[in-house]
């Protein structure tokens, strides 16, 4: 951890306040706020990358993960001088673009970090995300479902990276060449969703209402929209295992891991070994897929 100075830590020249460092945030995992801040510092090169210059929504658990929680969109007062904000639709969001900001939020017991899918002041998506959302709390088929979607994307010529949500689901990320719109990506998502649902009707659904999904896995292509958020790669989650939303290889997916396998206590070792799997995939072009979906040009 950075150097402590009377209830603060000195981080990159900024004094970040620290209160109740021994407060247990994840009791089952034995993770106090002090340990949490250490783990955030360890995660910061990766987590900050996917939150930088985006509108941030966080979920705060002042009493730990089993206590009351609330979503924070508007930046709280007072703000330290090192915190940048951005106004969007009358909400002043925190922009988490540095280690001091991350640790300041961690001290406020912000446990989950959900950035916008577009950059500050822009309306085009940063990447394409498919959200596979189980209807059951325990879903043994989630990795099977992810592998099926990954194979379909590969058949379309798209490289992708699966990641655990850290909760129950899986997100599949496709880095895309800049310039494609949310509407265009949703049209591709709808195409893939319909295809896998027709091929595997007992596994997938595109039914929006939870009560009508049964035990099927919801292929959420609608979540990818301006103003929406998804759990950032490498964000911790408010789960007993202190799980972390973790990018995987497709080989790992086929070994059927559990989201709890990747957590605050072991993520540092994994990142030293694997580094950032998302960074290894270059931006993908979806132009040919969009042309196919639009059909032949009429003259």
Q: Give a yes or no: residue 3 inside a domain.
A: no
State the pLDDT at residue 274.
93
Are 192 and 255 part of one and the same domain?
yes
> Within a domain: residue 298?
no
Same domain? 171 vs 218: yes
Average pLDDT of every residue of the chain: 92
pLDDT of res. 104: 97
At 266, list the tokens.
Answer: 């072991």
Q: Are both 113 and 138 inside the same structural domain?
A: no
In a domain, 299, yes or no: no
Task: Name the band, by pLDDT with cuts 50, 70 and 90, for residue 296.
Answer: low
Please identify, among 119, 146, 181, the residue that sits at the C-terminal boundary of a domain.
Answer: 119
Q: Are 264 and 256 in contact (CB under 8 A)?
A: no
- Note whether 91 and 109 are same-domain residues: yes
Q: Does one domain contain both 259 and 277? A: yes
255 and 133, same structural domain? yes
CA-wise closest residue to 281 among 161, 153, 185: 161
CATH of residue 91: 3.90.920.10
How far is the C-alpha of 263 from the C-alpha of 6, rounded, in Å?
Answer: 30
Predicted TM-score (pTM) of the model is 0.92
> In this structure, is residue 1 part of a structural domain?
no
Instruction: Give pLDDT, residue 2.
Output: 57
Residue 146 has pLDDT above 70, yes or no: yes
pLDDT of residue 131: 93
Domain boundary among 59, 93, 119: 119
57 part of a folded domain:
yes
Co-location of 38 and 155 in the same domain: no
- Spatial neighbors of 149 by CB under 8 A, at least 6 apart, are 130, 132, 172, 192, 196, 219
- Shared-domain flag, residues 199 and 270: yes
- Decide if pLDDT at 278 tops 90: yes
User: Among 119, 145, 160, which residue terminates a domain?
Assistant: 119
137 and 266 in a single domain? The answer is yes
Task: Determine, yes or no, domain membership for 163.
Answer: yes
What is the extent of the structural domain holding 60?
8-119
Domain assignment present for 2: no
Regarding whether 176 and 79 lie in a shared domain, the answer is no
Give me the mean pLDDT over the 209-231 stretch. Answer: 85
> Is there a domain that residue 29 lies in?
yes
Within this chain, do residues 174 and 279 fall inside the same structural domain, yes or no? yes
Q: Does pLDDT of 299 surpass 50?
A: no
Q: Are residues 102 and 138 in the same domain?
A: no
Domain total in the chain: 2
261 dihedral zone (left: phi>0; alpha: psi -120 to 50; beta): alpha
Is residue 297 over pLDDT 70?
A: no
């Amino acid at each position: 951890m950075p150097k402590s100075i009377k209830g603060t830590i000195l981080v990159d020249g900024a004094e970040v306040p620290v209160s109740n460092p021994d407060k247990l945030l994840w009791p089952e995992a034995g993770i106090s706020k002090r340990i949490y801040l250490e783990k955030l510092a360890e995660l910061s090169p990766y987590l900050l990358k996917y939150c930088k210059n985006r509108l941030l929504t966080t979920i705060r658990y002042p009493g730990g993960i089993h206590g009351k929680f609330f979503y924070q969109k508007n930046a709280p007062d007072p703000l330290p001088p090192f915190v940048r904000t951005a106004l969007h639709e009358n909400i002043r969001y925190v922009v988490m673009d540095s280690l001091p900001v991350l640790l300041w939020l961690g001290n406020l017991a912000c446990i989950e970090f959900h950035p916008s899918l577009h950059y500050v002041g822009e309306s085009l998506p940063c990447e394409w995300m498919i959200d596979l959302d189980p209807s059951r709390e325990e879903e043994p088929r989630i990795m099977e479902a992810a592998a099926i979607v990954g194979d379909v994307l590969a058949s379309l010529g798209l490289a992708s990276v699966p990641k655990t949500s850290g909760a129950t689901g899986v997100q599949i990320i496709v880095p895309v060449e800049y310039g494609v719109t949310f509407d265009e990506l949703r049209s591709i998502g709808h195409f893939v969703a319909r295809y896998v649902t027709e091929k595997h009707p007992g596994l997938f659904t595109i039914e929006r209402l939870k009560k009508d999904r049964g035990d099927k896995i919801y292929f959420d292509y609608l979540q990818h929209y301006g103003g929406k958020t998804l759990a950032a790669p490498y964000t911790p989650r408010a789960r007993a295992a202190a799980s972390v939303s973790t990018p995987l290889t497709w080989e790992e997916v086929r070994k059927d891991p559990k989201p709890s396998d990747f957590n605050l206590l072991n993520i540092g070792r994994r990142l030293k070994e694997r580094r950032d799997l998302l960074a290894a995939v270059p931006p993908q072009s979806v132009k040919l897929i969009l042309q196919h979906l639009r059909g032949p040009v009429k003259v």
